[in-house]
Amino acid sequence: MQFRAAVLGAPGEALTIETITAAPLQPGEVLVRIGAAGLCHTDLEVIEGQLVYPMPIVLGHEAAGTIAAVGDAVDPRRIGERVVLSWNPHCGHCFYCERGQPILCETYTALGPRAVAFDGTTRLSLRGAPVRTMFYMAAFAEYAIVTAPCAVPIPAEMPLDRACLLGCGGLTGVGAATRIAQIGFGDTVMVIGCGAVGLAALQGARLAGAERIVAVDLDDAKLAIARSVGATEVVNARRDDPVAAVRAITAGRGADCVLEAAGNEAGFRLSAEACRPGGRIVWLGKVGVGQDVAFRWGSLMGEKQITRASYGGAQAARDLPLLARAYLDGKLQLDPLVTRRIRLEDINQGFDDLRAGRAIRSVIVFDAAI
């Protein structure tokens, strides 16, 4: 079949809207009509050449839609299901999968840099030439082909332009707070960076029982949103010292847990300085894989525990329906994370807004009936 997609031909170039061709579904796969897809900073890293993939490529890994067709060995009754897509297919039987770490699946990590489907082949083409697939999904397109387990059913009443946020930013942030950070009832938590992941982590800390949640950013507008979704204190790091602020409310100790979601060297250093002795640090942001990050050694002492998390300790089949239900029940706020809704043709402007810090999430809406 053929459908429209945003294609990146080379790093630094604008994405172009092309009509691409998809190969037939293989056994165990489903075809998903994309309803909405979020523009994530990881996509921007590929555009800017910080994250290297073969090209041309279709980006996009935060999406929700409706199953339009199924391959052999998939229950045909799944056609019509509303689903959130997970970018973490896994084999289920390798060293890491058997230890409950699907994000480290050996097949997943081996094929990921090649930007191919989970069976190692290329599903998409443009004028006869192969087109690569980011994160086993390629969601900046009208349709996506994924393995059936990566199309996770959600309640039919869940709006797709909010559901898409769960597939990356929402699950990464909430999962880090509830599955990894070991936040206890009454804890003081600091969240550094109030983009989509940080605002999700902040809400995860609230759901986990934190008593005080200190949000840190450089943008007063984002801090206002942070307060609206659960922050008890906000600190603009351009004007005030976040370390002094958190120590002032903890008898000089520091935060019990710090969740870093800014993704820069200053944010990583701050996470270590603001954490109390014996506390926990979870790094969600990232810098270029070859970039050094320097720390004051004393900030790392005091029995602090540091964890890097890529997908919030996610078990997608378990967690995505729970997050969708939390949204529908009013416990998880996603609406404030959507800065604007755009057309596929506006994708380059959307990335300009992300680059400039003008958007938390721009969401491409493909289907008016979302």
Question: Per residue in 222-260, is it b (16+ CB within 10 Å) or e — as a string?
Answer: bbebbbebbbbbbbebeeeebbebbbeebeeebbbbbbb
CA separation, residue 360 to residues 165, 195, 334 (Å): 11, 5, 11
147 with 10, same domain? Answer: yes
143 with 184, same domain? Answer: no
- Take residue 259 and report the two structure tokens written for it: 């969740």
Q: How many domains does the chain have?
A: 2
CATH number of the domain to which 67 belongs: 3.90.180.10
Using an 8 Å Cβ cutoff, are 71 and 65 in contact?
A: no
Name the 3-class secondary structure at 324: helix
d(CA 226, CA 151): 30
143 with 254, same domain? Answer: no
229-237, Cβ contacts within 8 angstroms, sequence gap of 24 or more:
229/199, 229/202, 229/203, 229/333, 229/336, 230/202, 230/203, 230/205, 230/206, 231/191, 231/202, 237/270
- pLDDT tens for the chain, 370 residues: list them: 999 999 999 999 999 999 999 999 999 999 999 999 999 999 999 999 999 999 999 999 999 999 999 999 999 999 999 999 999 999 999 999 999 999 999 999 999 999 999 999 999 999 999 999 999 999 999 999 999 999 999 999 999 999 999 999 999 999 999 999 999 999 999 999 999 999 999 999 999 999 999 999 999 999 999 999 999 999 999 999 999 999 999 999 999 999 999 999 999 999 999 999 999 999 999 988 889 999 999 999 999 999 999 999 988 999 999 999 999 999 999 999 999 999 999 999 999 999 999 999 999 999 755 6
Please, what is the end-to-end C-alpha distance for the chain in angstroms?
Answer: 23
102 with 220, same domain? Answer: no
13 with 114, same domain? Answer: yes
What phi and psi values does residue 74 have, to the nearest 5 degrees? -115, 135
CATH number of the domain to which 197 belongs: 3.40.50.720
140 with 10, same domain? Answer: yes
220 with 131, same domain? Answer: no
- Radius of gyration for the chain, computed over Cα atoms and rounded to the nearest angstrom: 20
Range of the domain at 36: 2-153+334-365
d(CA 98, CA 95): 6
300 with 356, same domain? Answer: no
d(CA 141, CA 308): 31
Asked if the structure places residue 170 within a domain, the reply is: no
Note the pTM of the prediction, 2 decimals.
Answer: 0.94
115-121, Cβ contacts within 8 angstroms, sequence gap of 24 or more:
115/53, 115/54, 115/57, 117/26, 117/145, 118/89, 118/147, 119/26, 121/23
Phi-psi region of 269 (alpha: psi -120 to 50; beta: other; left: phi over 0): alpha
